[in-house]
Amino acid sequence: MSSARARRPRRLQLPYVAAVEATRGVPLYAGILMVAVSVLAAGSAGSAGSLSPGWAAPLSTGAATATFLAPVAAGASVVHVQARRRKGWLDAAASTPRGASGAVCLSAVSLSVVTVAALTVGTLVAVVRADLAGPFTAAMLLLPATAVLMCAAAVLLGVWTGTLTRSRLAGPVLSIALYGSATASLYSRIDGRSWLLWLEPYPLDFSYSLALEPDPGYWLPKLAALGAVALAVLLVLDHRRALGVLAAVAGGAVLLAAATTLQPDVVRLRTPPTDPPCLDQSGVRVCTWPEATHLAPAILAAAVTVRKHNEDVLPDLPSTYNQLGLQPEQPGQPGPVGAATVDVLTVDDSDSTSVLAEVRAASLPPSRCPYEPASADLRGDVVELMAVRAGEPVLREPGDEIEVLAQQSDVVQARWVQDTLEEADAACAARPADAP
């Protein structure tokens, strides 16, 4: 019986064939390059504690490596399929019952495997270098899922391009076009056309602090659209063009419907705890996220110092400081009187100067237009006066307005502070739509 089993021809399974395909030729070399560069990039991003605590920042960093891995993977796919065709492998496969599409799809699988492997290694490097004491929520998994689908869609697009053209320029041109799409949409968004955010392969300029997580209202439609693109190309490669066109139209419709009906942001505030940990001292209260209680003493010390030096010129100093996200209000919007939102998540608690600077800025009344440069400059002058009053060295020339003002009476300083803050609010009239 055993001899009969031994004589039975062994059927090669897809994972085995894909693994063999992925470890030779173009996929092997492209994979080695992509792993090396993603490790270098993700390692650089996570150096010196630059990532916020929690899982969102390293997962986002790892996923962001897909913005340069996917274009190169697409170009390498073009090269791979063209080489297969030039050497006659596709003609040989076309003579089999399954046809050439099976061989082409196998090329796509092998290149997807190496690209996702590079993505995974880069993400692991970012995760290892990050402070994972922060939160992990299910919504954060949307980041690597988007990156994987983006890479798969790019590889399939490359494979399809490789079947269409023999041009040696097709690979690099496709790579540069995909990279350009990742950056061009960002330029367009600066003009205020926020719907172009939906066309970005991966929104790059969003950082994830402890209080933030991906907004599923934005990421789920994007995930569906990317999946539809990948499915459409796969169907076209399998000679089911009508179904492929249908899938592409469905993906576009999902994206269009989401862009026109939903108004989500890329990030959203996490659900705050009902009873966040707080510290009290000298009439000042500091509340932090449970994962950031180690920052509370530094914030509290800074808040007490700010109150001690400035209560004569700023009578409405807040009595409660909440970390970003612990208040129901959005950052930058006016909150209840006597409460200030302090975002100190990006500073190290040993860096007391940074904490002091953030507490000072948060001690002012909420800005009506935080992104208006004229308003921000005027508020910066007030913060600088607070620093001078505390005796901190400030990078100003001797005889500067702030230096002179700090030597005058508290009444004069208080009037100047009030006038400057009113002027800062008046500057908001120049920018009614308060968009970044």
Extract the tokens encoding 259: 């862009």
Is 76 a binding residue for another protein by CB under 8 A? The answer is: yes
- Which of helix, strand or coil describes residue 279? strand
Q: What are the helix (H) ranges across 208-269?
A: 216-237, 241-261
> Which one, of 173, 155, 135, lies nearest residue 66 by Cα?
155
Of 170-178, 298-306, 371-379, 421-429: span binding another protein (CB under 8 A): 170-178
Question: With respect to another protein, which residue has the nearer C-beta, 176 or 253?
Answer: 176
Of 174-182, 265-273, 390-398, 410-418, the window that binds another protein (rule: CB under 8 A) is 174-182
Q: Are 120 and 34 in contact (CB under 8 A)?
A: no
Transcribe 81-92 into DSSP letters: HHHHHHTTHHHH
Burial of 240 by CB count in 10 Å (0-12 exposed, 13-18 middle, 19+ buried)?
middle
Per-residue contact track with another protein, 203 to 232, x per CB under 8 A?
Answer: -xx---------------------------
Considering only 16, 29, 136, 371, the residue that binds another protein (CB under 8 A) is 29
Give least dist CB 377 to another protein, A: 16
Contact flag: residue 124 with another protein (CB under 8 A): no
If one asks whether residue 169 binds another protein (CB under 8 A), the answer comes out as: yes
Q: Tell me the window of 38-46, 109-117, 361-369, 396-404 that interacts with another protein (CB under 8 A).
A: 38-46
Q: Which pair of tokens denotes residue 340?
A: 């200030």
Residue 424 has phi, psi (to 5 degrees) of: -65, -40
Residue 40 engages another protein in binding (rule: CB under 8 A)? yes
Among 367, 381, 386, 385, which residue's Cα sits nearest to residue 428?
A: 367
Q: Does 64 bind another protein (CB under 8 A)?
A: yes
Joined together, the tokens standing for residue 104 give 């082409």
| Contact between 82 and another protein per CB under 8 A | yes
The token pair at 242 is 């009508």
Is residue 192 within 8 Å of 433, Cβ to Cβ? yes
Q: Does 45 bind another protein (CB under 8 A)?
A: yes
Contact between 71 and another protein per CB under 8 A = yes
319 sits near another protein (criterion: CB under 8 A): no
Nearer to another protein, 33 or 246 (CB): 33
Smallest distance, Å, CB 36 to another protein?
A: 9
Q: Does 87 bind another protein (CB under 8 A)?
A: no
- State in angstroms the smallest separation of the CB of 425 from another protein: 27
Q: Measured between alpha carbons, how far is 146 from 142 in angstroms, rounded to an integer? A: 6
**Tokens 């059927």 sit at which residue?**
11
How far is Cα 142 from Cα 69, in angstroms, rounded to an integer? 18
- Using the minimum distance from each CB to another protein, give the nearer residue, 79 or 355: 79
62 touches another protein by CB under 8 A: no
30 DSSP assignment: H
Burial category of 51 from C-beta neighbours within 10 Å (exposed 0-12, middle 13-18, buried 19 and up): buried
Half-sphere exposure of 198 (CA within 13 A, CB side): 24
Q: Is 75 in the site for another protein (CB under 8 A)?
A: yes
For residue 173, the minimal CB distance to another protein (Å) is 9
The CA distance from 423 to 429, in Å, is 10
Residue closer to another protein (CB basis): 78 or 105:
78
Question: Looking at 171, 201, 227, 318, which residue binds another protein (CB under 8 A)?
Answer: 171
Q: How far is the CB of 317 from another protein (least distance, A)?
A: 28
Number of residues lying near another protein (CB under 8 A): 37
Nearest to 361 by CA among 414, 412, 299, 407: 299
Closest to another protein by CB, 135 vs 171, is 171
Residues that bind another protein (CB under 8 A): 26, 29-30, 33-34, 37-38, 40-42, 44-45, 50, 61, 64-65, 67-68, 71-72, 75-76, 79, 82-83, 168-169, 171-172, 175-176, 179, 182-183, 186, 204-205
